[in-house]
Structure 1
Amino acid sequence: MDTHETPLFELPAPAIATEPFPFANGLGPAAAGGFVAEDWAQALAPVEGTLVQIARTLEARRATGERILPAPGNILRAFKRPLAEARVLVMGQDPYPTPGHSMGLSFAALPQVHPLPRSLKNIYTELHEDTGVPVPAHGDLSAWANQGVVLLNRVLTVAAGDAGSHRKLGWESVTDAAMAALAARGGPLVAILWGKDAQALAPALAPIPIIASAHPSPLSARRGFFGSKPFTRANALLVEAGGTPIDWALPMAAPRS
């Protein structure tokens, strides 16, 4: 999410979610429910108490009428695929604050979102220029996640309409633990860090190779994001480390929800 980015329009707001947060009782139930891969649950065990406390805080805020985004079942979606499969890390900031947009993967949007968020549209422009693949009209990046692209936001929830509102809620400790687990696991793995906030995390990811550039936000994309070729560069680094490249092509039709 780009904190300077305002949505072009809002989808009709869905009813406020009332289902429980899947990590409210710890990582064991979250893993058993398929919300977190088993090896990610083990890696995040040191911050399990923080996750439980965050769930309590979110529940209290929801009780006052605050709309929490994304939907509870998507909050830990970046950890749904196994840690062992991770090949590329793409760090974002926090979820899109427009109801109906965020799907729990950094920069991705739910299939029905139109027009696309402007940062994602710029990512697609660079994707096409870098790799030549056609780009879809939808913003669902699940096809990347399914190949081991960890699309991780620094903060995993947000209040509807209030970008950055859940920073300092405890999520930074959780994503610190996730980055530490990736660094400890090692390669073949590449980190893509767009913008100064993401690049400040580089020391925590050593010795993972890093591709850094300006953020894809409309405010900065022309100051070093366009032309940075992150997709082909990531694949070259993966192959150099003995890994398998990512197929960056996305399905042209929006996946069914």
Structure 2
Amino acid sequence: MFDLTGLGDWGTLPFFTNDLPQITSKIDGDVLPPPALTFAALARTQPDAVRVVILGQDPYHTPGKADGLAFSIPAQFGGRLDSLGNIFKEIQSDTGRSRSQTALQDWADQGVLLLNTALTVPPGQPKAHAKLGWSTLVRQVFERLGDRPRAIILWGGPAQAYAKYLAPDHLILQSAHPSPLSAHRGFFGSRPFSKVNQWLIDQGQEPISWADP
């Protein structure tokens, strides 16, 4: 069902042998993003390239909106941006620079792993796969990334539940989810983008270009 050919070093995680078959057996019907894109975030940003992790909730449940990278939306989608629109507002407020490009592959190519706590969702059924077993993959991803400090952004309650699995030398930023339902409860004004970049600079690394490439 799922395309595992591009996983690279992530493919060594025990999840793919021990847990994914069980998840696959529980899925009945269509999922979003399409199965060829389920692991696009991992394929795009390999473990040693990861400098920042943004952890969200589950993929967009509107057909054509999810592309396998958390919060990213294909350029041709043309619908409401919701969470991503609020992310753009915070980028502008936080950094003084603007972003309108909805596809976030350029972030991934700079070392930003855009991951959700669940990697699939049935069309029109948000959170329906939240307890399907994806949590094992997320824990193993963070274990793999424990070899050196990274910047970790946890947006929303489901993401914040993973804080206890993180090595203490990471930069860990937690706030409300950027969803229109919760962004005003602490996401706006949290300034994650400038905080991450200052931390990266302090670590002797290049900052992330969050604005339009």
How high is the TM-score relative to the length of structure 2?
Answer: 0.92
1:165 to 117, 128, 145: 128
SS at match of 1:73: helix
**1:78–1:104: 8 Å Cα contact kept in structure 2?**
yes
1:95 aligned partner, one-letter code: P
2:24 to 55, 59, 63: 55
Aligned equivalents of 1:21, 1:199: Cα separation in 2: 27
1:128 to 92, 106, 128: 92
**1:190–1:210: 8 Å Cα contact kept in structure 2?**
yes
Q: How many angstroms does 1:109 deviate by?
A: 1.4
Structure 2: give runs of 5+ residues left out of the alignment: none
**1:70–1:95: 8 Å Cα contact kept in structure 2?**
yes
Q: How many angstroms does 1:176 deviate by?
A: 1.2
Correspondence 1:175-254 to 2 at 5 A: 175-182=138-145, 184-187=146-149, 189-207=150-168, 208-251=170-213
Runs of 4+ in 1 over 6 A off after TM superposition: none
Aligned to 1:72: 35
Q: Deviations over 1:81-119 (max 9, x none)?
A: 211000110001111111111011111112222233211
Q: How many angstroms does 1:47 deviate by?
A: 4.6
Paired positions, count: 211
Structure 1: give runs of 5+ residues left out of the alignment: 1-19, 23-29, 252-257
Aligned to 1:85: 49
**2:56–2:156: 8 Å Cα contact kept in structure 1?**
no
Aligned equivalents of 2:30, 2:178: Cα separation in 1: 27
**2:57–2:156: 8 Å Cα contact kept in structure 1?**
no
Q: How many angstroms does 1:197 deviate by?
A: 2.3
2:133 aligned partner, one-letter code: G
Q: Which has the larger radius of gyration?
A: 1
Q: How many angstroms does 1:53 deviate by?
A: 2.5
**1:109–1:116: 8 Å Cα contact kept in structure 2?**
no
SS at match of 1:108: coil
RMSD (Å) for aligned C-alpha atoms? 1.6
Instruction: State the identity as a percent.
Output: 43
**2:117–2:158: 8 Å Cα contact kept in structure 1?**
no
2:75 to 111, 119, 122: 111
How high is the TM-score relative to the length of structure 1?
Answer: 0.77
Aligned equivalents of 1:130, 1:76: Cα separation in 2: 30
Aligned to 2:2: 21
